[in-house]
Amino acid sequence: MSTATQTGSGRPRKVTPARASTGSHSTGSHSTGGRKPTPRSTTRDQVGAAGKKPARKKPAETATTLAPPAAAAFPEQAVPAAVPGPVSPEPAAETTSAVPPQSGADGPAPETKPGPDIDDAQEEQLVGFGFGAALAAVRSAAQLALREQRTLFEGLGGAAGELIRISQGNSEIEPAKADKRFTDAAWQSSRFLHRLMQAYLYLGERLDGAVDGLGLQGDSAGRARFAAGLIKDALSPTNSLVTNPEALRLAVATRGDSLRCGARNFIGDMRHNHGMPSQVDLSQFEVGKNLAATPGAVIYRSEVCELIQYAPQSATVHQRPLLVVPPQVNKYYALDLAPGRSMYEHLLKQGFQVFGMSWRNPTAEQRDWDMNTYASQVLDCIDVVREVSGSPDVNLMGGCLGGMTVAIVAALLTARADNRVNSVTMGVTLLDLETDAKILLFATPRSLAAAKRASELTGVVEGWELAEIFAWLRPNDLVWNYWVNNYLMGRKPPAFDILAWNADATRLSAAFLRQLLDIVSGNALAHPDSLTVLGTPIDLAAIRCDSFVVGGRTDHITPWQGCYRTTQMLSGNSQFVLCSSGHIQTVVATPDHPRLGYFTNPQTPADPEAWLAAAGRHDGSWWDHWADWLRERSGDIGPAPERLGTSAHPAGEAAPGTYIYQ
């Protein structure tokens, strides 16, 4: 791996002595048996300085969704690893900060005191993603700092003292172990670079303390910290050619050729990638060849989706089939990557009948597609699968937004006393949206009313716009890492199947986005009957079938504690499994991954941290554990079908179908 590779900024640390930091999360009330109580939650930004959550009024209903005004989008997007390898499956170890929170010899650290929240105009500047939005947010925070001048001057003596020690070469500040930006030997051997690194790390830590000292409350404080973090990450000396020693050495060694290649990469991204550094070399991949290559055939097609039946890969199969509902953002083949890395292939080899949906990529002509549209297609596909397999019911599986769709369909059928679904599996899925996901920090009425207006103008939200949002959630890994690799080093981005899937973005229809915003802002799925789909009020607590819920321990999009809350929202028997990796690597948990692991605990207490404390860790992939669970719910074993489809639903185009190419 290149020494310029950036895998996360971590936090700076002193060499001695180290003190471990701790933290914990808790949620919900304890289950009372039978129907599990829905965890109480509130609209974001309702938590005041006293920390009390006001009671929520039940939102009114419409034919689809009526919740309080809009909030943040809830799309699915991959979060791949830094160049050049896959997402690290284990969380980075926490390290001690360079600036201890207690008073020191050079004066007390800035004290964080409660204060008034920012006003509407300032809040508007703390909304959005990207470098421009971050600059606006920092300007807003600076205005607050001028009003609270004590924040600026507290601790300046300590800062000056540490900067003097840095200039004299007497500082002990070093990068956190998880920070891979400064691994080149020159950051230690060069006095200038070593002191520059120390000053950057120290001032970045001071910036965090200054933002905390502004007295912002709730999500406004989170937005300010996030914006300051964007600026801090952007100003890393590794992002500049003149202060990146590896890039300078390579430029000399190649007689400037690396710089010429970097310039070509930069111009290409300006023209073809909306100004963002490319994350993958797509030339090595072809859908249907080495991606989405599991054999099968389309047995049903509508205006909205295709349904693929996959060819058996065993002599006998379980009689109850599995229907997979993919998220509406990104193509379905995260579950069917390269041969040997496909969940579909893995299940087929173990004797499961697998059927998978593939959504059409909407255009402005499909601007009115909403949850009614998608739920009705899931119901239609369930009936097709039942007819083809001969089974009276099916097992359902969905990931992220697909998992939300699965939960809604299961609740809808339960309300209708319809038993077509035997069990549900939901991976990296948030149903109770009162959680600490970074994306939800920006769930303010103003910002998302603007998102609604923008989508109404075009009829869709473009996939590249969604991808850019998620890249800025982890700028060191997903922006600056590739900036250094592609532009300063002049290299190609890696050829990695997950990254290729991630780049194959899809659009969201305006109506569906509008519903998602309403679901998030009102936390509608955590409140019975707040959402109506296909004329049926949705109450997740009414779901009585067995459920299997999966979270990722380092997932920053759908934090695992939020995923865990699903076990408290459903009334059936729930099992939770925690994978040791992040968002998409949890889904693509191939059994041959050398460092992968997962945690299990048959009990589901209300507190997710209590669950984890009593859980056992296992090496390998949760796929096998899930397969054992699914096998018990997949019925008898019989001969595998000799052909795909039936006379009513004959096999058509070979998998992966046609919609995947849109």
- Least Cα distance to 428 among 62, 148, 50, 75 occurs for 75
So what's the pLDDT on residue 306?
A: 98
User: In this structure, are residues 506 and 328 in contact, taking their beta carbons and an 8 Å threshold?
Assistant: yes
So what's the pLDDT on residue 138?
A: 52
In this predicted model, what pLDDT tens digit does every residue of 248-287 receive, in sequence order?
Answer: 999 999 999 999 999 999 999 999 888 899 988 989 999 9
So what's the pLDDT on residue 161?
A: 82
Provide the 3-class DSSP secondary structure of residue 480.
Answer: helix
So what's the pLDDT on residue 231?
A: 85
The rounded distance, in Å, linking the Cα atoms of 487 and 92 is 27
User: In this structure, are residues 197 and 189 in contact, taking their beta carbons and an 8 Å threshold?
Assistant: no
The rounded distance, in Å, linking the Cα atoms of 147 and 142 is 9
- The structure's pTM equals 0.74
Q: What is the number of helices (H) and of strands (E) in the chain?
A: 23, 18
The gap from C-alpha 644 to its chain's centroid, in whole angstroms, comes to 35
Helix residue ranges, H only, 493-631:
497-503, 510-522, 560-564, 566-569, 583-587, 608-613, 622-631
Low-confidence ranges of the chain (pLDDT < 50): 1-11, 13-132, 134, 155
605 to 33, 285, 423, 494: CA distances (angstroms): 11, 44, 21, 42
Long-range Cβ contacts of 622-625 (<8 Å, 24+ apart): 622/550, 622/577, 622/579, 622/586, 622/589, 622/598, 623/343, 623/346, 623/347, 623/589, 623/590, 623/591, 624/591, 625/577, 625/598, 625/600
Instruction: Give the pairing type, strands 421-427 and 546-552.
Output: parallel
564 to 58, 326, 517, 610: CA distances (angstroms): 24, 20, 22, 11
| Catalytic hit among 305, 400, 545, 563 | 400
Residue 579 annotated in active site: no
Instruction: Tell me whether residue 295 is exposed, middle or buried, using C-beta atoms within 10 angstroms of its C-beta: 0 to 12, 13 to 18, 19 or more.
Output: middle
So what's the pLDDT on residue 584?
A: 83
